[in-house]
Structure 1
């Protein structure tokens, strides 16, 4: 299908990786009114006002979707990151964002950072009243409202999906606060630019801090715990299950931060119960999933539960995990290969500003962690986790995530064809151009 109307933008003279169902590869793409109107033959759409970009052999692919990136926090901290020596900038003391002007500046800066990296969409995984008194000021209801305002003014440079947060970031939550939050009003807007998709729940902490809830014991004899509040362990688990059930009934997407094998097991069980009781309703997923058991992973696959994980953090923190538990735990953690093989919709992401938002590094890290032999099929699979699968997580695969006629014109142009490279070489490939909604938002 093509349009007869002259295109606003044409990219030609290179390689176009569409990532459609047939893995179509073309040499050109045309864009009109923010939508892709032709892939392949585009000459007939070039008019006197068409902006024609010669790719000079470069490669266009679907825009990168970092499906777990704390944008306002990144904008406030950059170029520092937590694991890059920026702990002092994490908000221990005076908040990083204290007023509306600072919140807006951080959001705008995050868009600039994203544009330079070819990121056309990202997910803010946790904004809301649970952090209204938070130490950083980067996750509050005020930040959520500022996003809505910036989106309404047409000033976002990347599409933003949001999960609301009714407890503390990396901290406790209560069932009562969750119930109140779930029915509280929320800002709205054009869902293709600013979409509040659901809720985030913190089930536990992280293994290196000995706060992930595990079946095995840490070196100090503890085994972590659930962060959801309750009178005892059974009450905490019941409250977590109730949160999942309530959010599922409400039709909200549920993203659960769960890193310990025990917390993941309970989370998947709770999602399974909610689906059985009320039918399938949302694109629920596990966040991080460090110590997921293989049998639980298989059950998640059967239920269509996604996995959003950060290979860069896996590589960086594996020694810490081994020190907290043992070498075997570190060796079997983050089972990316198994997740892909089971058909789980895996999303790779950065969790920036915990680490950098540079997806090229984390695709290389994913291949390293998997111990996989370089191949075009591997690269396609890993790139798909940053494009096709991320669009699915957003419930947006009908209109973004691939380069097909009728979908939004979100593209990333690289200096080389990634399918011709080993993943380890990808971080050295430059981002030449970023197009969002048919507009060039970055050009090197």
Structure 2
């Protein structure tokens, strides 16, 4: 007879939103060995050393996965952000991480910030040699090395996925540097805590700065251009295709920062060519996708390409986009509702510290941007963009993202059921407990 399991942690007396395929709800959950071992009937698993938490009607949610968050930069800059209340945050010197101790302190601080928000996983979208001489040091190879050391020492407070960067952040890259970067070895890590999944490429800039590559003219008559190096648009696009093909053949996930409609079209065309030539791989995705068009959106599900977008940035920067292009561009930008209706794999994220990492605000912003009527179905759909769908982007849906027996116990406890509050009220719902792998990392 098998030994009886005794739970390490039991949460009971509330609502458990599992976010499994059937959207099952329960009243209790038990954890042992860092994984969920039971839902509903859990009393028989309580032993003398079990930590029992009475929820008193509170709600358990799968741990939040902010799938585009610059952790070291957030930790260095916090409580500052680049955008605040619709404008550029002022004051203070730019952060500089020059030593391993400074990098570790920034990662640790970010861990504290996000644990208090119920965030149990995040993606560092761009660390590597392209930023080894960068102004802040927040995106360098040294930061990746520090993540690897902290993962080995068991010091990470959230699970981290990393995309490597072989060009400058928000800046140019060359095919030669990309080829050299792809040939370098990555640190050996436990991928359940630090997964170095692939690469990030900056196709262009952003529309408000008139640096996104667009079909229509900006107010000054320009169109922007690809950031990938080349003598003209044709060569730049050819080099982008070569980068994507190289990474795809290597089995790396590819996240491409692409905001202008022309850069998005070029990126998806290049990904489609690589998939057709070499077969599917990597769960590639567009990052931001501000001006993505309908025809491109229709192609994405069949290609297995996702969209990682930031509704908070959409709301905050819409006036700047109107000034750079026009109101018609704003009306068509960030088509979140359409993407979801077409079955695109849509992840919601913050891009912190561009804006703060409070997912509750950005779920509310997504509902506002969509103009959708408040309902439990809408909230569930948007919350999946911060839980189950990012787990798919991470290639980890078999073991995280929902609360099911056998999956890791990554969860947060909210003071109210998010399905039953208006989106505008969600930012006022407190996070009282955060658990990662069965370990409590935040508790009020």
- Structure 2 distance, partners of 1:59, 1:239, is 49
User: Which residue number corresponds to residue 327 of structure 1?
Assistant: 327
User: Which residue number corresponds to residue 425 of structure 1?
Assistant: 425
User: Which residue number corresponds to residue 286 of structure 2?
Assistant: 286
Higher alpha-carbon deviation: 305-314 or 3-12: 3-12
User: Which residue number corresponds to residue 174 of structure 1?
Assistant: 174
User: Which residue number corresponds to residue 220 of structure 2?
Assistant: 220
User: Which residue number corresponds to residue 261 of structure 1?
Assistant: 261
TM-score normalized with structure 1 length? 0.98
Secondary structure at the aligned position of 1:60 is classed as strand
Shift of 1:86: 3.5
Shift of 1:332: 1.0
1:313-352 correspondence runs (5 A):
313-352=313-352
Secondary structure at the aligned position of 1:37 is classed as strand
CA-to-aligned-CA distance 1:137-179 (integer Å, 9 cap, x gap): 1000000000100111101000000000000000000000000
User: Which residue number corresponds to residue 154 of structure 2?
Assistant: 154
1:409 partnered with 2:409: yes
Secondary structure at the aligned position of 1:380 is classed as helix
Shift of 1:300: 1.2
TM-score normalized with structure 2 length? 0.98
Over aligned residues, Cα RMSD in angstroms?
Answer: 1.1
Secondary structure at the aligned position of 2:211 is classed as coil
- Structure 2 distance, partners of 1:37, 1:213, is 50
Shift of 1:4: 3.7
- Structure 2 distance, partners of 1:310, 1:427, is 16
Contact (CA 8 Å) 1:77, 1:89: kept in 2 or not? Answer: no
Contact (CA 8 Å) 1:400, 1:408: kept in 2 or not? Answer: yes
- Structure 2 distance, partners of 1:346, 1:207, is 21
Shift of 1:88: 4.8
- Structure 2 distance, partners of 1:359, 1:441, is 18
The unaligned stretches of length 5 or more in structure 2 are none
The unaligned stretches of length 5 or more in structure 1 are none
- Structure 2 distance, partners of 1:344, 1:182, is 28
- Structure 2 distance, partners of 1:284, 1:185, is 21
- Structure 1 distance, partners of 2:73, 2:3, is 41
The size of the alignment, in residue pairs, is: 440
Secondary structure at the aligned position of 1:11 is classed as strand
Secondary structure at the aligned position of 1:126 is classed as strand
1:190 partnered with 2:190: yes
Shift of 1:87: 5.0
CA-to-aligned-CA distance 1:240-260 (integer Å, 9 cap, x gap): 011000000000000000000
User: Which residue number corresponds to residue 137 of structure 2?
Assistant: 137
1:348-427 correspondence runs (5 A):
348-427=348-427
1:309 partnered with 2:309: yes
User: Which residue number corresponds to residue 72 of structure 1?
Assistant: 72
Shift of 1:89: 4.8
1:76-87 correspondence runs (5 A):
76-84=76-84, 85-86=88-89
1:10-25 correspondence runs (5 A):
10-25=10-25
CA-to-aligned-CA distance 1:346-369 (integer Å, 9 cap, x gap): 000000000000000000000000
CA-to-aligned-CA distance 1:52-89 (integer Å, 9 cap, x gap): 00000000010000000000000000000001244555
Moved over 2 A (4+): 84-91
- Structure 2 distance, partners of 1:290, 1:90, is 29
CA-to-aligned-CA distance 1:273-298 (integer Å, 9 cap, x gap): 00000000111000000000100111
- Structure 2 distance, partners of 1:300, 1:99, is 41
1:126 partnered with 2:126: yes
- Structure 2 distance, partners of 1:19, 1:65, is 13
User: Which residue number corresponds to residue 203 of structure 1?
Assistant: 203
Shift of 1:331: 1.2
- Structure 1 distance, partners of 2:90, 2:272, is 38
Contact (CA 8 Å) 1:82, 1:90: kept in 2 or not? Answer: no
Higher alpha-carbon deviation: 82-91 or 190-199: 82-91
Secondary structure at the aligned position of 2:367 is classed as helix
1:219-238 correspondence runs (5 A):
219-238=219-238
Shift in CA distance, 19/407, structure 1 to aligned 2, threshold 3 Å: same
CA-to-aligned-CA distance 1:168-195 (integer Å, 9 cap, x gap): 0000000000001011011121100001
